[in-house]
Structure 1
Amino acid sequence: MTTNQIEILVYGAEQICASCVNLPSSMDTYEWLEAAIARKFPNQPFKVEYIDIFNPPADDEKRTFAQRVVEEDMFYPVVVIEGKVVGEGNPRLKTIYAEMESRGYIPSA
């Protein structure tokens, strides 16, 4: 079991992306993802942060990636774990879980 806390960033916007009609909003995805990860990896440290791509925080790295999402017309929400894009548009839990397991997280039975 890992003792390192990883940071999971969910980049999105209030408005659903044009190619993502009928999918949950970025904020809904963020909330769903945080709950799903907490159930899958109980009592293991992680942080999920939502970043509005049109109003990013002052942090240079997060601001730069938010601009990239907009400029490259990426499908959002975009899920990033420790700098690696693991989901875009409609992120898959299986992919996110696999990335966390590769970083030492142990799934619950």
Structure 2
Amino acid sequence: MENQIELVVYGADVLCPSCVNLPSSKEQYDWLQAAISRKFGDNGVIYKYVDIYNPPEEKPYQQFATKVIDEDMFYPVVLVEGEVVGEGNPRLKTIYKALEKKGLKPES
């Protein structure tokens, strides 16, 4: 696949107040990466984890990290090519559909 699809997970080491019984953002990021790789293979998706309290220097990541905090979004927040596709407890089916919509095809 020529074009890489960016999947970004925004989260924090501390669980969000409404997500007490869920895995941490980092655990969900690792789980999503494994699940997506099983369905679509290892190519085609660029994964990025952004700590909302310590975002990287790039302005778009800093701005969205600030938005997650300011708007009290449930994290992890999952974005596919800049579009929010999951919040709090992301659903695989929704993320798979978003990836397929962007042109990613499941492996046979």
How does the TM-score come out when normalised to structure 2?
A: 0.96
Contact 2:44 2:104 in 1 (8 A): no
Q: CA–CA distance in 2 between the matches of 1:54 and 1:43?
A: 29
CA shift, 1:43, in A, is 4.5
Q: Aligned AA for 2:70? A: E
The residue matched to 1:19 in structure 2 has which SS?
Answer: coil
How does the TM-score come out when normalised to structure 1?
A: 0.95
CA shift, 1:42, in A, is 1.1
Residue matched to 2:80: 81
Please report the RMSD computed on the Cα atoms of aligned residues, expressed in angstroms. 1.0
Is residue 2:47 matched to residue 1:48? Answer: yes
CA shift, 1:103, in A, is 1.1
CA shift, 1:9, in A, is 0.4
Runs of at least 4 residues off by over 3 Å = none
5 Å-filtered alignment, 1:1-109, equals 2-109=1-108
Q: Is there any run of 5+ residues in structure 2 with no aligned partner, and where?
A: none
Matched residues, number:
108
Q: Percent identity?
A: 56
Q: Is there any run of 5+ residues in structure 1 with no aligned partner, and where?
A: none
Contact 1:12 1:53 in 2 (8 A): yes
